[in-house]
Amino acid sequence: MNRSALKFAPLLLALALPGLASAADYAVQPAGSKLGFAGSFQGQAFDGSFGQWTAAISYDAAKLATSKFDVEVDLSSVKTGDKDRDGALPGSDFFNIAKFPKAHFVTTGFRQNGAQVVADGNLTLRGVTKPVSLNVAFKPAGTGGTMDVTGSVKRLDFGVGGGDYADTSVIANDVKINAHLVLTAK
CA–chain centroid gap for 175, Å, is 14
CA distance 161 to 167: 9
d(CA 68, CA 185): 14
Q: What's the CA gap between 134 and 176, in Å, rounded?
A: 10
Flag whether pLDDT at 5 surpasses 70: no
Q: What is the pLDDT of residue 21?
A: 53
Average pLDDT, the chain: 90
In the predicted model, what is the mean pLDDT of residues 63-81?
A: 97
Percentage of the chain lying above the pLDDT 90 cut = 85
pTM exceeds cut of 0.75: yes
Q: Residue 95: pLDDT band by 50, 70, 90 thresholds?
A: very high
- Residue 70's nearest CA partner among 108, 96, 113 is 108
